[in-house]
Chains A and B, each alone.
Chain A
Amino acid sequence: MAINSLSDIIAASANGHSQRTVWNKATGLAAYTAGRWYDTSFLYGSPTSETFPGTALNATLFTSTNNPGWMNIGAPVSPLEKYLVNFEAMSPVATGAPSWLLLVDMLMYYPQVNLNTNSQQNLVNNVSLPRYSDGNGVMMYLNNIAGTTGATAMNLHPTGFNYTNSYGVDGRVIPGTVALTASAIVPQILHSGVAANNFGPFIPLAGADQGVRSAQSVQFTASTGLAATATLVLCRPLAQIPISTAFVPFGRNLVFDMPCLQRIYDGAYLNFLLLAGGAVVASTPFYSELVFKWG
Chain B
Amino acid sequence: MPISSLDQLVAANASGQSFKYVWCKQNSSGSALAAGKWSNTATWNGNPCAMIYPAGPVLSANMPGLSMVSDFPVGAPGIIGTIPHGGPVAPFTKYLTCIEANGTVATTVPSWLVLVDMLVTVTGISMISTSAQTLNHPALPRYTNGQGVMMLLEDYGAASSATGETINTTGTQYTNQAGTLGQTIPWAVQTGTVANNPSNLVHSGATANNCGPFLPLAAGDTGVQSVQQIQFVTGLAAGTCCLILCKPLAQIPLYQTLASSGRDYIFNIPTMPVIQDGACLAFLVYSGAALATNATLHATLDFVWG
Contact surface of A with B, Cβ cutoff 8 Å: 2-9, 34-35, 81, 83, 98-100, 102, 136-137, 139, 165, 167, 169, 175-177, 194-211, 236-240, 242, 244, 255-263, 275, 277-278
How many B residues have CB within 8 A of the partner chain?
61
Contact between chains at B49 and A206 (CB < 8 Å): yes
Contact between chains at A167 and B294 (CB < 8 Å): no
| Contact status of A7 and B49, CB under 8 A, knowing A136-B87, A137-B19, A259-B97 | no
Residues from chain B with Cβ under 8 Å of A35 in the complex: 104-105, 258, 296
**B:126-170 near A, CB below 8 Å:** none
Q: Is the interface of A mostly helix, strand, loop or mixed?
A: loop
> How many angstroms between the C-alpha atoms of A261 and B18 in the bound complex?
9
**B:235-293 near A, CB below 8 Å:** 256-260, 262, 264, 266-268, 293
Residues from chain B with Cβ under 8 Å of A260 in the complex: 13, 18, 20, 97-98, 302, 304
Assess whether B6 is interfacial by the CB under 8 Å rule: yes
Residues from chain B with Cβ under 8 Å of A242 in the complex: 100, 102, 259-260, 262
Contact between chains at A202 and B24 (CB < 8 Å): yes
0/1 string, B6-22, CB within 8 A of A gives 1: 11011101111011111
Contact between chains at B71 and A200 (CB < 8 Å): no
| Contact status of A199 and B46, CB under 8 A, knowing A102-B22, A165-B74, A242-B259 | yes
* 4 additional contacts (CB under 8 A) given A237-B21, A240-B100, A259-B9: A3-B11, A203-B47, A206-B80, A277-B258
From A198, A210, A255, A277, contact of B259 by CB (8 A): A277
Contact between chains at A176 and B49 (CB < 8 Å): yes
Contact between chains at B82 and A208 (CB < 8 Å): yes
**B:8-48 near A, CB below 8 Å:** 9-11, 13-16, 18-22, 24, 26, 28, 45-48
> How many angstroms between the C-alpha atoms of A34 and B201 in the bound complex?
30
Residues from chain A with Cβ under 8 Å of B98 in the complex: 258-260
Residue of B nearest to A203 (CB): B47
> How many angstroms between the C-alpha atoms of A209 and B74 in the bound complex?
7
Assess whether B205 is interfacial by the CB under 8 Å rule: no
Give me 25 A-to-B residue pairs in the complex whose CB atoms sit less than 8 angstroms apart, sorted by A's number.
A2-B11, A3-B10, A3-B11, A6-B7, A35-B105, A98-B260, A165-B74, A194-B296, A196-B26, A197-B28, A199-B296, A205-B49, A206-B49, A207-B74, A208-B71, A208-B74, A208-B79, A238-B20, A244-B256, A244-B259, A255-B10, A256-B267, A261-B10, A275-B258, A275-B298
